[in-house]
Amino acid sequence: MLAAAGSASGSNMINQRQTLAAGVYSPASRLSGRTGAGGFSLVELLVVVGIVAALTGLIVPSLGRAKELTRRVVCATNFRGLGVGLRMYANAHGGAYPVEEYCGNPQPALTESLFGAYVPDRDIFYCPSAEQIEPYAQSSEYGGPGGDSVINTDENWARAHITYKYFSMTRRDTRMPLPLRLSEYPHLLGDDSPPQRWLMSDWVRKDAPVFPHWQRGGYGGGRNVLFADISVQFVQHRTPNAFGDEK
C-alpha cells in the first residue's frame, strides 16, 4: 500500500509539473491575465482593440468620401447629358434654349422641352446627392423662400421640381436674387452665349452651411456647373461669379 501511495504521489507531482510547463495555470499566468498557452493577456487584447478602432476611424471616412466622389461624378454626367439635350433642342429651335420665368423650381419649360425627345431618363434631372440638401431646400432659414423640394419623387416630377438650377429666365426672383442687374433681365441663353456663362448648376442657397456634395459652404465649398459651351466643371466658389468672364 505504501508503495502504491508513493507511486500515486509521484505521478501527481509529474502531472502538476507537466501542467505548469504547459502554461495551463500558474501564478504568473494569473497575474499576466493569460488563460492558457495560446491565450492573450488583457493588455494584448486592449492593444488589438485600440488598433482596430484606429483603423476603423481611418477607413470609414475614406469610404464615405469615395462614395460622395462617385455621386459627384454621376452628377457631372447628368449635366453632360442635359447639356447635349439642350444643344439638340437649340438645333431644332433656332439656337434658343428653353426659357423659364424664374431661376429655380418649378422648371416646367426645361423638363417638358427636354424630357423624352432629348433626355430619355428623368433621373438625369436629379443629383444623386439631393437627399443631403433636401432639408435646406425645405427650410426658410437659409436665405430662401423655403418649401422647395429637390429629390426625385413622382410628386416632384409631376410639378417640375428638380435638383438643378437653370439660368435662362425672364424675370428676377426677389426671393433668390442672382448677381444680375434689373437691366439684364430677361437673361436668355442659347447656343451662341459666351462659353463661360453658367447654364445650369447644382442646387445651392446663399446661407446654407453645405454644398450638395458634403462640402462646407463659403469659399471652401463647391458644386458642379454646366457652362454654356456644354463643359462641366466642379467650381469652388459661389454664384457671384456665375455670370462673369472667367470660369
Question: Is-contact 180 186, C-beta < 8 A?
Answer: no
Residue 20's alpha-carbon distances to 6, 27, 46, 97, 143, in angstroms, are 21, 10, 26, 88, 75
> Is 171 inside any structural domain?
yes
Residues 6+ apart with CB under 8 A from 97: 86, 89, 90, 168, 188, 189, 190, 191, 199
Range of the domain at 145: 43-241
Residue 125 pLDDT > 90: yes
* 7 lies in some domain: no
First to last CA, the chain: 104
Whether 135 is covered by a domain: the verdict is yes
- Whether the per-residue pLDDT at 126 is higher than 80: the answer is yes
Q: Is 196 exposed, middle or buried (0-12, 13-18, 19+ CB in 10 A)?
A: middle
What average pLDDT does this structure show over 82-101? 96
Mean pLDDT of 122-130: 94
Tell me if 87 is assigned to some domain: yes
247 within some domain: no
Euclidean distance between CA atoms 27 and 41, whole angstroms: 14
Number of structural domains, the chain?
1
Cα separation of 89 and 94, whole Å?
A: 9
Specify if 37 maps to a domain.
Answer: no
**What is the per-residue pLDDT for 247?**
47
Examine residue 168 and state whether it is found in any structural domain, yes or no.
yes
**38-62 confidence digits (pLDDT tens):** 566 877 777 777 777 776 666 555 5
Please state whether beta strands 232-235 and 223-227 pair in parallel, antiparallel, or not at all (unpaired): antiparallel
Cell numbers at 177, concatenated: 436674387
User: Which residue shows C-alpha cell 422641352?
Assistant: 113
Instruction: Assign 201 to helix, strand or coil.
Output: strand
Cell 442672382 -> residue = 178
Q: Residue 230 has which C-alpha cell?
A: 456644354
Is there a domain that residue 231 lies in? yes
* Averaged confidence pLDDT in the chain: 78
Which pTM value belongs to this model?
A: 0.70
